[in-house]
Amino acid sequence: MPSLHQFRSTLLAAALATVISAGPLGAAAFAEELRIGTSYKLMTLDPHYADLNENTSLLSHIYERLVNQDERLNPQPGLAISWKRLSETQWEFKLREGVHFHDGSPFTAQDVIYSIERIRDFLKPPSGGFQSYTQAIKSITAPDPLTVVIETNGEAPTLPLSLTSIFIMPHKTDGFATTEELNSGAQPIGTGPYKFQSWQSGEVLKLVRNDAYWGGAPAWSDVTFRIIESPAARVAALTTGDVDVADYIPARDVEGLEQRGLSVESISAARSNFLQFDIGRDEPPGVTGKSGNPIQNPFRDKRVRQALTMATDRAFLAEKILLGYGTAAAQLFPAGLSGTSATLKVEPPDYNGAKSLLAEAGFPDGFNVVLAGPAGRYPGDSESLQAIAQNWARIGVSVQPVVAPFSVFATQRSNGDYPVWYGGCSGEAVTLCLDAVLASPNAELGTGSLNYGKYQNQAFDEMLAKARTLEEGPERNEALARATEFVMADYPILPLYHFHLIVGHGHKVGSYAVHPRGWTTAMQAVPSEE
């Protein structure tokens, strides 16, 4: 069972070391090429263009960040070796010494300033998807070449976490580099373990080892990413040995791969998929009484939300629909990641209890409801809706599942066309999802961006606000876990599952450490011993 060894703590430290320092030094002796089949498109070479794994996963070979994240999403030193809070609104970062860019120029505080200012001031939407990470930054100065001091607007206790998303580029003296410049011709230059060789957008990315890498020479001499978007084609490429590693393997293909002697590794993704209820409106569309008569919004009643939760067989979704490559969810991130609750558990379905709760809430016969979701966006999305419809039918709630392509679904959802829908949240920290999904919509604080149902819970907002003022660490994680437990007792959403990220690899790769954020990199692949 994958859930047993999701977070193998002892292996974790070793794997972490390899992720951070790009492979054990000894392995450098093998001058081998690694070929990876990935679903990530790599749309642009501008590291600050869009905050999507599609880009950042592959670009993280070339560019690095000040702060890295380990497999529990805790911050770890990257290009910065240490950081401390000087005052409420001031952070100091000490930079790593002796780091050089691929063109030989040394990495200094100027590059950090340049990169942050490029995002904050220069890039205009639709590029500059990283602006939300730099919004809090008021000014940035360099007292000496290896120190930066960041002044923030108000308190920003999680600034290091924000910096885990920002790639550092070498500074230019003549203004900021444009996205067009970076896409066409100009070779991308970073400090990362691999150097850019060539790319064709949506096709291939070729990298070579950076022998002067500060973390020691990387394990692979050449790395070729082939972009293969069709999962069946990725599996075929791995099977025939055309690639050594393939990401996002469909669960149904795992057995076939293992029979052919290929290895498969998986981990719970740092995310969750859930059902959200429209709580804001009196009479949302798509909800009617049993005889088709209009009714008041049933989801405003906590007992209804609780009953629906009790009537949903989440273990079935994880075991049967995701074939075991999923973990039933009771909160937003899988338990074990920082800031999650250790006590929230998924209960087996209790249809009788749910039925009586529903009766108590005034719906002894249930009601009719439209349940909407995207098709093919997440593993098991449309199949789950079918299964949930069957579950809810047992307590008298007749579900009409509505499945649409993601872009259609997203438009309809923000138009408010659905009463209950399937959603997802991911991010570099659980706070991101707590803020986006569960906190009350508040433009000033930037919270509630995914709270399409307009759920509001003032006590929870306050707990979250309090946790936000704490610095990254056990105390903050504890506060977040308590806030999560508090809010989940009100059944604001119905968490379904954390699907697993499945990566397959051939014999050339000894082990591959899947990262919960879903990155696919050569640094995660350790060459086999032979």
Q: Which stretches of the chain bind other proteins, using CB under 8 A?
A: 41, 43-44, 46, 49-52, 124-127, 129, 131-132, 179-180, 183-184, 200-204, 226-230, 232-233, 236-237, 239-240, 242, 271, 405-412, 414, 424-427, 432, 436, 441, 443, 446, 449-450
Residue 73 or 425: the one with the smaller Cβ distance to other proteins is 425
CA distance linking residue 209 with residue 195, whole number of Å: 6
Which residue, 191, 85, 92, is CA-closest to 146? 92
Q: Using a CB cutoff of 8 Å and minimum separation of 24, what contacts does 443-449 make?
A: 446/132, 446/135
Q: Which is nearer to other proteins, 28 or 228 (CB)?
A: 228
Q: Which is nearer to other proteins, 132 or 511 (CB)?
A: 132
How near is the Cβ of 279 to other proteins at its closest, in Å?
18
Helix axes 474-488, 458-468, angle to 10 degrees: 170
Alpha helices in 361-473 (DSSP H): 381-393, 406-415, 430-433, 458-468
Q: What does the DSSP 8-state code read for residue 13?
A: H
Q: Cα separation of 338 and 70, whole Å?
A: 10
Q: Which is nearer to other proteins, 233 or 344 (CB)?
A: 233
Nearest to 99 by CA among 163, 155, 186, 22: 22
Measured between alpha carbons, how far is 476 from 511 in angstroms, rounded to an integer? 33
Instruction: Report the nearest approach of other proteins to the CB of residue 64 (Å).
Output: 21
**Nearest distance from C-beta of residue 44 to other proteins, angstroms:** 5
Cβ closest to other proteins, residue 30 vs residue 176: 176
**Contact of 460 with 486, CB cutoff 8 Å:** yes
**Residue placing its CB nearer to other proteins in the complex, 135 or 356:** 135
Instruction: Provide the minimum distance between the beta carbon of 368 and other proteins in the complex, in angstroms, as a whole number.
Output: 26
Contact 103, 114 (CB under 8 A): no
Shortest separation between residue 52's beta carbon and other proteins, angstroms:
5
Nearer to other proteins, 85 or 206 (CB): 206
Helix or strand holding residue 220 (H, E) = none
Cβ(48)–Cβ(62) below 8 Å: no
The minimum distance between CB 134 and other proteins, in angstroms, equals: 12
- DSSP string computed for 57-123: HHHTTT-EESEEE-TT--EEESSEEEEEEEETTEEEEEEPTT-B-TTSPBP-HHHHHHHHHIIIII-
Please, which residue, 215 or 423, has the CB nearer to other proteins? 423
Closest approach, Cβ 203 to other proteins, in A, equals 4
Taking the complex as a whole, the smallest distance from the CB of residue 79 to other proteins amounts, in Å, to 22
Q: How near is the Cβ of 51 to other proteins at its closest, in Å?
A: 5
The residue (of 213 and 274) whose beta carbon lies closer to other proteins is: 274
CB of 282 to other proteins, least distance (A): 23
Q: Work out how close the CB of 406 gets to other proteins at its nearest, in angstroms, rounded to a whole number.
A: 8
Q: Smaller CB distance to other proteins: residue 16 or 437? A: 437
CA gap 41, 228 in Å, rounded: 8
The residue among 203 and 255 lying less far from other proteins, judged by its C-beta, is: 203
- Residue 366: which H helix or E strand, with range? none
Residue 455, SS3 per DSSP: coil
Cβ-contact 20, 215 below 8 angstroms: yes
Give me the helices (H) in 344-455, please: 351-360, 381-393, 406-415, 430-433
**Residues contacting 232, CB < 8 A, separation 6+:** 250, 253
The first and second tokens of residue 482, run together, are: 């308590």
